[in-house]
Amino acid sequence: MADILSIKDTALSFSKDSSSAKGSNLENDEAMVYSCLDFYPKSFESLEKETGLPMLMLISTVMRLCDKGLVMETFKNEYIRI
């Protein structure tokens, strides 16, 4: 029984650490774009309207978020947070 409880505590602390890690260490533009994304795909045009960032900066920011493993392309030029 104690083993099960220790595994549960470890899993809970891991999930808290991983969720807080996603929001930390992001630059301002990365945090803004990340906050606009959810689990439904959004296009660059939609993100451009929401963030007000120039398209080239937006593309660069989304690519950095993809490299960090926080965002994924689901369809051509449509992205979700993961």
CATH number reported for the structural domain that contains residue 28 in this entry: 1.10.10.10
Structurally, the chain folds into a number of domains equal to 1
What are 11-30's pLDDT values in tens digits?
444 333 444 445 568 899 99
What are 24-81's pLDDT values in tens digits?
688 999 999 999 999 999 999 999 999 999 999 999 999 999 999 999 999 999 999 9
Nearest to 67 by CA among 12, 14, 25: 25
